[in-house]
Amino acid sequence: MKMIDVGEKKKTERVAVARGKVSMSDATAGIVRRGESEKGDVLAAARLAGIMAAKRTPDLVPLCHPIALTGVDVLAEVRDGGVEIEATVRTRDRTGVEMEALAAVSAGCLTVYDMLKRYERGMRIEAVELLEKKGGRTGHWTRGKPARKR
Amino acid sequence: MKMIDVGEKKKTERVAVARGKVSMSDATAGIVRRGESEKGDVLAAARLAGIMAAKRTPDLVPLCHPIALTGVDVLAEVRDGGVEIEATVRTRDRTGVEMEALAAVSAGCLTVYDMLKRYERGMRIEAVELLEKKGGRTGHWTRGKPARKR
Amino acid sequence: MKMIDVGEKKKTERVAVARGKVSMSDATAGIVRRGESEKGDVLAAARLAGIMAAKRTPDLVPLCHPIALTGVDVLAEVRDGGVEIEATVRTRDRTGVEMEALAAVSAGCLTVYDMLKRYERGMRIEAVELLEKKGGRTGHWTRGKPARKR
Amino acid sequence: MKMIDVGEKKKTERVAVARGKVSMSDATAGIVRRGESEKGDVLAAARLAGIMAAKRTPDLVPLCHPIALTGVDVLAEVRDGGVEIEATVRTRDRTGVEMEALAAVSAGCLTVYDMLKRYERGMRIEAVELLEKKGGRTGHWTRGKPARKR
Amino acid sequence: MKMIDVGEKKKTERVAVARGKVSMSDATAGIVRRGESEKGDVLAAARLAGIMAAKRTPDLVPLCHPIALTGVDVLAEVRDGGVEIEATVRTRDRTGVEMEALAAVSAGCLTVYDMLKRYERGMRIEAVELLEKKGGRTGHWTRGKPARKR
Amino acid sequence: MKMIDVGEKKKTERVAVARGKVSMSDATAGIVRRGESEKGDVLAAARLAGIMAAKRTPDLVPLCHPIALTGVDVLAEVRDGGVEIEATVRTRDRTGVEMEALAAVSAGCLTVYDMLKRYERGMRIEAVELLEKKGGRTGHWTRGKPARKR
């Protein structure tokens, strides 16, 4: 196993956007909407957990390069069927930030689960996926339209 | 927000089992099967990443208690449609280990994605969910049969 | 230097409460009150940062024992002259949790500073101090009345 | 909440100096001066804890950018009324290092408290503040003269 | 790979002692003895680094259990041919602390190397080994006499 | 103590190669060769632990600079008398990566020890040393031939 050498790659502006969802019952989603979770503000905690996880990605993903992130934004909102998390990560470095965006979404989803598990243990983290990436050798990529039902 | 006080809870044996999957094309699954990923052994890396993430759960999930885990086992295998990760976590402490099991699965899935993203950027982490938990005040819980198509 | 052996100490219920303050101008305090900080919700971020720092105290304070915290609660509110942070930490272990409570307050104060520094660089973290501790060999301790002007 | 994007900012030389103090009785200060603390060399531990905390600032302060520090110096000395900690942090990056300097001072002060708390629980961390910063868009800033009584 | 379940093991008092050495020229050892290293006090830094590493062993060694250490003591001294590090770690938990003692020694040795490498790059970390362990199912173990020339 | 300022140094390509060994009996080496260790694949775990430790070097070695590593490769193989670990670390930054390479080797060796300690507690980590470094002000350095008996 090895962390591939990226020394020859150029430092360019790179962006990645990822998304995921914690599916839950309407009753549980209502608890979030009304701010009634015993542990506190679910959406604020999920956003902060996502941002912090983005910074710790190289600790979580063994072969991932340490990168100087220039920006991280994590959104969390209650949607039909659950809480959706979306993370946008930016850098000007030698590798892309897909892993950082996906790690942010994963940590946000885990945090949502943690704060609501006493109400519904059967929640499920679904469809954690990259939506878009820009920059680097492989250029612009977006997830094709039919890839996900919304 | 607060980390709920569990001082009154009893230290009992607790187990949690979680599972998730990285869905991918047959071509990418074949790369894993044949051990041809440029970054090395995908399944071994995913298992180790999962075990290490279980230990770091309180750093990832803000309101999660630090717990003395007594055992962690993470399985990773190529199945139809992708790589499946299953984690079993054990403790003898005051809170359950659902979050540790889910964090292990999430980190394992992220690691699979990282090692294969150059072959298929559109992979998706799916259905990260608790399968079973034992111990503690709420006792034994298992995910109901129809909860997941296999 | 050494981390003193506490193996002979009893595991008892222990609580520590600490407090501190970030002093700032009324204008800056107003930004917090009205929720106008560019970086987002100052008080929520400070509370979460405090809870997470309590769990990481042994990493921050070299000779501090790793402890199984059973509960952490961090409050943050705008008061005359600034933002006040108060942390309550609980354990059932062999050493007290004074350091965890003080670390939570310090991290909360640093987070407040970070989120407001673009508005007022001269803010100051003040009077980070233990208010009370219970449990353990030395028993109950409270800060004497005249110790702090409010 | 978000970690503001700094991708457009220039990488320039940046320096920040911060200071703080642990106030204590003369008796406790004497223990430090004579090197009699049971846990070992208080000033050396505080300096090292400060340097290590500067490197971990993005883990402590949720919305703080990860930065490549080029230098960190932490001083600790016994002064009238306590132990004073001063940290100087340098980088050549896109954001300032005020938070790193303040985090170093906070961790140094917490370490002083930890090593002396058995002698005096009522010590207090005081006046953790930025003294000076250089570099970046906002240029040179120094704390005004009357800002602190010495 | 798995972190073996130790839930059935008893919590008993356990101690481990490990030792290692950084071999170097007399000239370099003299720099340590006279306290002339540019980076500061080599022996104090090595001791503190060892203590902190003991606490982080489960992060460094993937299949190692997280353990509540009750005490850690690290010694560092200049001996013929280099700097010797000895670590004693104690716990009252379900697994032994051999890895914590060896990790403390390794981090102490790395720190010695770091602080002196500008004077002698060819230094070598030698004979990091367990000297003794007590407690647990396998009882008392000591390294046999002829195992190391002193 | 201080982390020396390297702001004036140039960002150049830098490489460091380090090596070390865990000496053990033939019987224990055979367990590794035949893949019979109860905890799983020793060599894969050692390699991954080494890569992850390289990234965390600034957390382990107090005065070491945080560096953006561009590549890390860790080899582990059974040789006469034990398991040998070799790490190659690359960066394009202001300081060398000797410490990262040595930290990777140390963590790899600790992991080997951990996975085999139940078979042979007397194993020893030997001769952790730099083999070569390139780049930076001091240029190319290689360990002299007679430095190590093989």
Predicted confidence at residue B1, as pLDDT, reads 86
Reported as a pLDDT band with limits 50, 70 and 90, residue A146 is very low
Question: Is F139 or A103 the better-scoring residue by pLDDT?
Answer: A103
CB environment B57-79: b (16+ within 10 A), e (fewer): bbbbbbbbbbbbbbbbbbbbebe
* Interval A41-53: pLDDT, tens: 999 999 999 999 9
Q: How many CB pairs under 8 A join A and F?
A: 47
3 state SS of F145: helix
- d(CA E60, nearest CA chain F) in Å: 6
- Residue that is written with structure tokens 């990091």 in the block: E128
Predicted confidence at residue C145, as pLDDT, reads 57
Task: Round the average pLDDT of chain D to a whole number and report it.
Answer: 94
DSSP β-bridge partners for residue F95: none
Q: Between chains, do B47 and E1 touch, taking CB under 8 Å as contact?
A: yes
Q: At D121, which amino acid appears?
A: R
- What is the mean pLDDT of the segment spanning A118-136? 96
Q: What are D15's two structure tokens?
A: 């320096």
Q: Between chains, do E61 and F127 touch, taking CB under 8 Å as contact?
A: no
In chain E, the domains with their CATH numbers are 12-136 (3.30.70.640)
Task: Select from D15, D85, D102 the residue whose CB has the most chain C CBs within 10 Å, as the one to mutate to test that interface.
Answer: D102
Q: At C138, which amino acid appears?
A: T
CB of D15 less than 8 A from some CB of C: no
CB of B93 less than 8 A from some CB of C: yes
Q: Which residues of F touch E109 (CB under 8 A)?
A: 106, 128
- Residue that is written with structure tokens 């370490």 in the block: D111
Q: Between chains, do F47 and A6 touch, taking CB under 8 Å as contact?
A: no
CB environment C52-91: b (16+ within 10 A), e (fewer): bbbbbbbbbbbbbbbbbbbbbbbbbebeeebbbbbbbbbb
Q: Which of A111-115, B140-144, F142-146 has the highest mean pLDDT?
A: A111-115
Low-confidence ranges of chain E (pLDDT < 50): 146-150
> How far apart are the C-alpha atoms of C66 and C68, rounded to whole Å?
7
Q: What are D135's two structure tokens?
A: 């570099």
> How far apart are the C-alpha atoms of C77 and E76, rounded to whole Å?
46
Predicted confidence at residue F145, as pLDDT, reads 57
CB A117 within 8 A of CB A59: no
Candidate from B4, B67, B93 with C-beta closest to C71: B4
- What is the mean pLDDT of the segment spanning C18-30? 98
Q: Which residues of D touch C126 (CB under 8 A)?
A: 126-128
- Residue that is written with structure tokens 């990226």 in the block: A6
* Interval B32-48: pLDDT, tens: 999 999 999 999 999 99
* Interval F85-139: pLDDT, tens: 999 999 999 999 999 999 999 999 999 999 999 999 999 999 999 999 999 888 8
What is the percentage of chain F residues whose pLDDT exceeds 70?
96
- d(CA E9, nearest CA chain B) in Å: 9
Res C97 pLDDT > 90 = yes
φ, ψ of residue D145 to 5 degrees: the values are -50, -50
Q: Which residues of A touch C43 (CB under 8 A)?
A: none
- Residue that is written with structure tokens 């409010």 in the block: C150
Task: Among A117-121, B142-146, D36-40, D83-87, name the one with the lowest average pLDDT.
Answer: B142-146
What is the percentage of chain D residues whose pLDDT exceeds 70?
96
> How far apart are the C-alpha atoms of B14 and E110, rounded to whole Å?
39
Catalytic, out of C5, C26, C80, C114: C114
Q: At B107, which amino acid appears?
A: A
Predicted confidence at residue D147, as pLDDT, reads 44
Task: Round the average pLDDT of chain F to a whole number and report it.
Answer: 94
Res C43 pLDDT > 80 = yes
Q: Are strands B82-93 and B69-79 parallel, antiparallel or unpaired?
A: antiparallel
Q: How many CB pairs under 8 A join A and D?
A: 48
CB D1 within 8 A of CB C35: no
Q: Which residues of A touch F74 (CB under 8 A)?
A: 1-2
CB F44 within 8 A of CB B41: yes
- F99 burial via Cβ count (<10 Å: 0-12, 13-18, 19+): buried
> How far apart are the C-alpha atoms of A66 and D66, rounded to whole Å?
10
Could you tell me how many residues make up chain E? 150
DSSP β-bridge partners for residue E73: C2, E88
> How far apart are the C-alpha atoms of C104 and C108, rounded to whole Å?
6
Res F140 pLDDT > 50 = yes
CB of B62 less than 8 A from some CB of A: yes
- What is the mean pLDDT of the segment spanning B62-68? 95
Res F149 pLDDT > 60 = no
- Which residues have CB under 8 Å from A12's CB, separation 6+? A92, A135, A136
- Residue that is written with structure tokens 């950018």 in the block: D65
**Closest to B13 in 3D by CA, of B136, B133, B104:** B136
* Interval F36-87: pLDDT, tens: 999 999 999 999 999 999 999 999 999 999 999 999 999 999 998 999 999 9
Secondary structure (DSSP) of D60-115: HSTTPPP--EEEEEEEEEEETTEEEEEEEEEEEESS--HHHHHHHHHHHHHHHHHH
> How far apart are the C-alpha atoms of C113 and C105, rounded to whole Å?
12
- d(CA E89, nearest CA chain D) in Å: 15
Active site residues of A: 114
- What is the mean pLDDT of the segment spanning D137-146? 83
Is residue B114 part of the annotated active site? The answer reads: yes
Task: Among A65-79, D56-70, D133-147, name the one with the lowest average pLDDT.
Answer: D133-147
Element of type H or E holding E54: helix E42-55
DSSP state of E71: E
Predicted confidence at residue C150, as pLDDT, reads 38
Alpha helices in chain F, H assignment, sequence order = 26-33, 42-55, 57-60, 98-116
Q: What are F135's two structure tokens?
A: 């780049």
What is the percentage of chain F residues whose pLDDT exceeds 90?
91
Q: Between chains, do B73 and E3 touch, taking CB under 8 Å as contact?
A: yes
- What is the mean pLDDT of the segment spanning A21-34? 97
**Closest to A45 in 3D by CA, of A69, A13, A10, A74:** A74
DSSP β-bridge partners for residue F3: D72
**Closest to E122 in 3D by CA, of E46, E24, E49:** E24
